[in-house]
Amino acid sequence: MKRLPIFIPLMLLAGIIHLFAQEKGVDVSLFTDVKSNKVGQGITVLVMEFSEADNDARTDTRKQSTHAIGVDGGAGVLQAFPGLNVSGRLQNDFRGYGRTTKRGVLRAKIAARIVGRNEAGDFLIEGSRVIEINNEKEVYILKGAVRPQDIQADNTVYSYNIYDAHIVYKGKGEVSRGQRAGILTRLLQWIF
């Protein structure tokens, strides 16, 4: 009597587990990736944001005018001022220079939840994380929409694949207060 290869009973067992999971409404497959695809399920967002802006402006203007009026001799009133010469010169120079540079980097992992779907079938996601260490509080807030095909096999998505993204990072505590200008300085900056 021939023995059945071991993989046939394993395939039957996998089929039974799959049918049982479908009856319970759970998506289980031995052959596909486990990705969130329903409202309420979680997804991990890998926040990898890098921004850089550079603006450089220069202005050089120069305006020069020369005027001369001369009268030699003449009749009437001008005879009293023989050899009258009037000349004038006007010069205006301006040089301006301005430069602004801004760079920012934010890297984090935030667990988000699928809160709905839009008309295109893309997932609307929201997530937040609050971390507090030694009276220093860090708050991350994330909202946006992601296409199902942008979700990786390990159920993660990069933040640059999220459209209409709203990513907020705020810090609160002694360090944040130490970096903030005093009230008198802020008042003077507001006036001037």
Q: Which two three-digit tokens encode residue 97?
A: 């220079």
Strand order in the sheet with 163-172: 156-158, 42-71, 84-117, 123-133, 136-146, 163-172
Evaluate whether 69 touches 89 at the Cβ level (below 8 Å).
Answer: no
Q: 40 with 17, same domain? A: no
pLDDT tens, residue by residue, 110-139: 999 999 999 999 999 999 999 888 888 889
Does 85 score more than 70 pLDDT?
A: no
Q: 81 with 165, same domain? A: no
Q: 127 with 180, same domain? A: yes
What contacts 131, CB < 8 A, 6 or more positions away? 137, 138
The whole-number average pLDDT for the span 4-12 is: 70
Q: 91 with 132, same domain? A: no
Q: 7 with 84, same domain? A: no
What is the predicted pLDDT for the residue at 37? Answer: 80
What is the predicted pLDDT for the residue at 157? Answer: 94
pLDDT tens, residue by residue, 134-187: 888 889 999 999 999 999 988 999 999 999 999 998 887 665 555 566 677 777
Cα angle value 153/43/46 (rounded, 5°):
80
Percentage of the chain with pLDDT > 90? 28
Q: 64 with 155, same domain? A: no
Q: How many structural domains does the chain have? A: 3
Does 7 score more than 70 pLDDT?
A: no
Higher pLDDT, 66 or 51: 51
User: Long-range contacts of range 25-30, CB-CB < 8 Å, 24 or more positions apart?
Assistant: none
Q: 14 with 73, same domain? A: no
Q: 50 with 128, same domain? A: yes
> How many C-beta atoms lie closer than 10 Å to residue 167's C-beta?
17
Of 8-12, 19-23, 48-52, 54-58, which range is least confident? 19-23
Q: 68 with 152, same domain? A: no
Q: 112 with 162, same domain? A: yes
CA dist list (Å): 186 to 66, 164, 173, 183, 192: 48, 33, 19, 5, 10
The whole-number average pLDDT for the span 86-105 is: 78
pLDDT band at 17 (very low <50, low <70, confident <90, very high): confident
Residue 179 amino acid letter: Q
Nearest to 33 by CA among 122, 121, 151, 112: 151
Q: 126 with 154, same domain? A: yes
Q: Which two three-digit tokens encode residue 34?
A: 């486990």
Expressed as residue numbers, the domain containing 87 is 55-100
The whole-number average pLDDT for the span 40-48 is: 91
How does DSSP assign 121-164, residue by residue? SPEEEEEEEEEEETTEEEEEEEEEEE-GGGS-TTSEEEGGG-EE
What is the predicted pLDDT for the residue at 77? Answer: 55
Higher pLDDT, 84 or 5: 5
**What does the mean pLDDT of the chain come to?**
78
Q: 73 with 20, same domain? A: no
How many helical (H) and strand (E) elements, i.e. helices and strands, does the chain have? Answer: 3, 6
The whole-number average pLDDT for the span 73-101 is: 68
